[in-house]
Amino acid sequence: MVQLSPKSNKIAIVGAGPSGVYCALSILNLFKKNNYSDFFIEIFDKDEPLKTILKTGNGRCNITNYIPDIKEFASNYPRGEKFLYSVFFKHFIFETLDFFNSIGVKTYVEDDKRVFPVSQSASDVRNKMLDALRSFKNAKFIKKEIYNSSELCSYNKIIVCCGSRNTDKIIKGFGHSLVDFKKALCPLIVENNFSLEGVSVKSLDGDFIFTRNGVSGPLIFKISSLNAYRKFPYDIKIKLFDENELLELVKKFPKKSIGNLLCNFIPRSLAKKLVLEFDKNACEIPKSTVINYSNLSLKVISTSSFGEIVRAGGVNLCELDKNCKSRIKDNLWFCGEILDIDGFCGGFNLQNCWSSAYCVAFDVVSSIIKK
Ligand SMILES: Cc1cc2nc3c(=O)[nH]c(=O)nc-3n(C[C@H](O)[C@H](O)[C@H](O)COP(=O)(O)OP(=O)(O)OC[C@H]3O[C@@H](n4cnc5c(N)ncnc54)[C@H](O)[C@@H]3O)c2cc1C
């Protein structure tokens, strides 16, 4: 146990998810580098620490994405892109990967640039982060739900990072306003999914799969994110394939059935639903109809209640400075998914956690050391 003086800095972190634990570790490392020890961190969580990381990347934890250019990286956030420039300038993928390497999490980059731990295990990432935290004496977890700043009066510095599930009250409880939360990166329910549950499609726009009552998969997550604040119902159009390639086949094989030619581009079960005259000779179908087969139009009626990855919305960024510090209350910071920042699939949401958490840590430590 560390000896605290009456003037010791007491730091409270609300939420022991990826951003809370990364923030704590960053504070501990920065103080260590500065030979400063007159502080104590208490990390509050209503649940077990880092439980939320276990589900990430289907249990493999997609830590980040290897796009070395900050602007290009930030373009993967439908909300928060500009705010993240200065955040990433302070702490970006290279610093994150160095950090994970330093605690024994070796990483590798997949062909599509997504970064995973070599262990392919989110549980390994969790254990290594928690082991690193336990190696310091100045930090401890406390299992407790926190709802407002008055519960934390005895702390000099407060960091709130409790994610985006049921956090409206907490944001208000800490004196801030919020941009309404909406589901982003989630499956969509559509008016007519052709009873094609389980059929997966590789379209020009991206991959997707038909579900019991709608559509899901990487393309649909992206569409749901881009339309997070749109009113239902709305129409979406998916470019299934290049129509010129089908037109060429029609020219080459005019006596083949249009349905069979379409099967070169999309699953037979989908072709059967889209083409009423499946067995008709391709040359008998008007060109405009052939071209239309390359687009799939769907009417989205709502988001699905299952399979949601992140939420759009959160702490209003106008009320924060570039270090994620409150402009409204002294000694208060926010980081991670509680911010009005959300990215596409591919490691972008965790990178927001790592980078914003580090920015907060740096600012908190600077504010104490500079005193
Ligand atoms: C299925 C799934 C898979 C995902 N996969 C990936 C991926 O591979 N890569 C990626 O980049 N992103 C992924 N994400 C998104 C990523 O997990 C989140 O962006 C990230 O967990 C947010 O971290 P956070 O610490 O800000 O919040 P959270 O992870 O939500 O953690 C918040 C913590 O605060 C606690 N808490 C909440 N309210 C209170 C309270 N009142 N008092 C005390 N404690 C409280 C919670 O118990 C929790 O432990 C995935 C999300 C899901 C759901």
| CATH code of the domain covering residue 175 | 3.50.50.60
Is pLDDT above 60 for 2?
A: no
- Whether residue 337 has its Cβ less than 6 Å from ligand 1: yes
Is residue 96 lining ligand 1, measured as CB closer than 6 Å?
A: no
Residue 340 counted as domain residue? yes
- Ligand 1 contact, 24 CB (< 6 A): no
pLDDT at position 122: 98
C-beta of 310 in contact with ligand 1 (< 6 A)? yes
Question: Which numbered atom of ligand 1 lies nearest the CA of 49?
Answer: 49
Computed on alpha carbons and rounded to an integer, the radius of gyration of the chain in Å comes to 25
Cα(176)–Cα(170) distance, integer angstroms: 9
Together in a domain, 215 and 284: yes
Please tell me the number of Cα atoms within 13 Å of 292 on its side-chain side: 9
Nearest alpha carbon to residue 116 among 94, 132, 92, 100? 100
For the Cβ of 56 lying below 6 angstroms from any atom of ligand 1, the answer is: yes
Three-state DSSP state, 290: helix
Average pLDDT over residues 332-347: 98
Mark which of 303, 321, 347 sits at the end of a domain: 303
Domain boundary among 303, 337, 359: 303
Q: What is the mean pLDDT of the chain?
A: 96
Ligand 1 mean position, distance from CA 70 (Å): 23
Q: What separation in Å is there between the alpha carbon of 311 and the centre of ligand 1?
A: 10
> Looking at ligand 1, which atom is closest to the CA of residue 45?
44
Q: Quick one: pLDDT at residue 4?
A: 60
* Whether residue 273 is found in the same domain as residue 320: no
**Bridging pattern class, strands 64-65 and 107-109:** unpaired
pLDDT class for 6, splitting at 50, 70, 90?
low
214 lines ligand 1 (CB under 6 A): no
| Boundaries of domain holding 218 | 188-303
pLDDT single digits (tens) 166-217: 999 999 999 999 999 999 999 999 998 899 999 999 999 999 999 999 999 9
Ligand 1 mean position, distance from CA 161 (Å): 9
Q: Is 47 in the pocket of ligand 1 (CB under 6 A)?
A: yes
163 C-beta closer than 6 A to ligand 1 = yes
How does strand 9-14 pair with strand 157-160?
Answer: parallel
C-alpha–C-alpha distance, residues 38 and 2, integer Å = 9
**Residue of 278, 185, 170, 274 whose CA lies nearest to 225:** 185
pLDDT, tens digit (0-9, with 9 covering 90-100), for 46-96 = 999 999 999 999 999 999 999 999 999 999 999 999 999 999 999 999 999
180 and 72, same domain (yes or no)? yes
Question: Residue 350 phi/psi, 5° resolution?
Answer: -70, -35
Per-residue pLDDT at 339: 98
Residue finishing a domain among 252, 280, 303: 303
Instruction: List the 9-14 sheet strands across, edge first.
Output: 139-143, 39-45, 9-14, 157-160, 332-334
Find the 321 Cα to ligand 1 centroid distance in Å.
23
Both 168 and 285 in one domain: the answer is: no
CA of 74 to the centre of ligand 1 (A): 20
Q: How far apart are CA 83 and CA 235, in angstroms?
A: 30
253 and 314 fall within a common domain: no
> What values do phi and psi take at 298, rounded to 5?
-135, 145
Residue 3 has pLDDT above 70, yes or no: no
- DSSP structure class, residue 257: B
3-state secondary structure of 310: strand
pLDDT at 1: 52
The verdict on residue 1 lying in a domain is: no
140 and 234 both lie in a single domain: no
DSSP state of 132: H
